[in-house]
Amino acid sequence: MKTACTLVIILVTSLTIAQDFQGKAYYFSKTGMDMDFVRRQMSEDQKKAIADRMKSALERTFILTFNKSAATYKEEAKLETTEVGGRWGAMISGITSNNYYKNIKTSQYYDQREFYGKNFLIKDSLPSYSWTLVNETKKIGNYTCFKATATKKVNEVLDFRAMRRKAREQRDRREKSNADQVSIKNTSDELEILKEIEVTAWYTPEIPVNQGPGAYWGLPGLILEVQEGRTTLLCNKIVLNAEEKEEIKPPTKGKDVTQTEFDEITKKKVEEMIEQFSTQRRGRGGLGGGRRN
């Protein structure tokens, strides 16, 4: 009888610890970018200034606050920021989430974003990943991590390579029409637009939660590193069961939209920007454009 009571107490204690369990993981996010889109007529100093501002926007630190069933993923507050201004800065602000919440039990996520001065709250079902577990390990900090891979559809709206291709196609069509001649395609400059990309994740079973940065989840351990195209997410700090717990709850601000609706909004704006950008380049001296004496 005494042994049975002891087992019950141990079980209740274990369940309480599991319910109260909480952790924080800090991720450094870095996205490489092809700077070929920068206007050729700009000086090297101007190009460098733009590259520096883009680097600031594409290198960020996020905090994943998680428990067994839910998590929030927010950008770490900065004392000083160098923001990309103008239309491109307003567009880039919509690429990453201000406050991403996911609940594994309900398979739902809430994603708060600001795009061109408007706040949106995306509510949709969590994406599922068909992970392939690979028999390969490496150390990240003090944790032994295992490799997993999956494929992910590319969001062409926010794919800069696709944007460059569309701008070039629109410019070529105008040049062909205005000059009444066939534009010659440089096949070496053609960019393959990927429909899917491979994602590589490294997770540690030493922290047995199926959480990860952003939308990533579903592995038998906390995901500490993700490589997705030009973007790398790397965890550089973990705090488990701190004395002060943080309430993990979904964001509430913004216009309610689904992911498909938000993608359509951004797509229209991006296409509008490409149209304006292509027209401006043509006016500055493209084939058949510019002032002639």
Residue 9 forms part of a structural domain: no
Q: Is residue 247 part of a domain?
A: yes
Name the one residue in this structure whose structure tokens are 């996911």.
102
Q: Which two tokens stand for residue 76?
A: 């770490």
Q: What tokens appear for 160 in the block?
A: 């800069």
Question: Going by C-beta distance under 8 Å and a sequence separation of 6 or more, which residues neighbour residue 204?
Answer: 140, 143, 144, 145, 146, 221, 222, 224
Residue 7 forms part of a structural domain: no
The average confidence (pLDDT) of the chain is: 75
Amino acid at 271: E
- How confident is the model over 8-30, as a mean pLDDT? 65
Residue 190 pLDDT: 39
Output the pLDDT for position 19: 60
The answer to whether residue 260 is domain-embedded is yes
Predicted confidence at residue 266, as pLDDT, reads: 85
Average pLDDT of span 154-160: 56
For 182-194, write each residue's pLDDT tens digit.
443 443 343 344 5
* Residue 4 within any structural domain of the chain: no
Q: 19 exposed, middle or buried (CB, 10 Å; 0-12, 13-18, 19+)? A: exposed
pLDDT value at residue 141: 95
58-62, 122-126, 143-147 — which is least confidently predicted? Answer: 58-62
**Range(s) of the domain holding residue 123:** 23-283
**Using CA atoms, how far apart are residues 53 and 57, in angstroms rounded to an integer?**
6
**C-alpha separations of 95 from 20, 89, 173 in Å:** 33, 10, 29
Tokens, residue 87: 């239309």
Tell me: the pLDDT tens digits for 168-185? 555 555 555 555 444 434
Residue 16 above 60 pLDDT? no
**Containing H/E element for 235?**
strand 231-240
Task: Decide if 252 is inside a domain.
Answer: yes
Angle, helix 160-179 to helix 259-283, in steps of 10 degrees: 40
Q: Where on the phi/psi map is residue 254: left (φ > 0), alpha (ψ -120 to 50), or beta?
A: left
In a domain, 291, yes or no: no
What is the model's pLDDT at position 292?
Answer: 44
**pLDDT tens per residue across span 203-261:** 999 999 999 999 999 999 999 999 998 889 999 999 999 888 899 999 999 999 999 99
Number of domains in the chain: 1
The pair of three-digit structure tokens given for residue 259, joined into one six-digit string: 């992911």
DSSP summary character for residue 80: S
**Least trusted range by pLDDT, from 192-196, 234-238, 266-270, 285-289:** 285-289
Beta bridge partners of 108: 103, 125
pLDDT at 245: 87
Torsion of CA 251, 257, 258, 264, to 10 degrees: -130
CA distance 144 to 204: 6
Strand partners, 28: 61, 234
Q: Which two structure tokens, joined as six digits, stand for 114?
A: 């600001």
C-alpha pair distances (Å), 112 with each of 89, 93, 101, 188, 256 = 17, 11, 9, 40, 9
Residue 112 has pLDDT above 90, yes or no: yes
In the prediction, which pLDDT does 226 show? 97
Cα distance between residue 15 and residue 49, in whole Å: 54
Q: Higher confidence at residue 78 or residue 193?
A: 78
User: Looking at per-residue confidence, does 56 or 235 come out higher?
Assistant: 235
User: So what's the pLDDT on residue 62?
Assistant: 94
In a domain, 13, yes or no: no
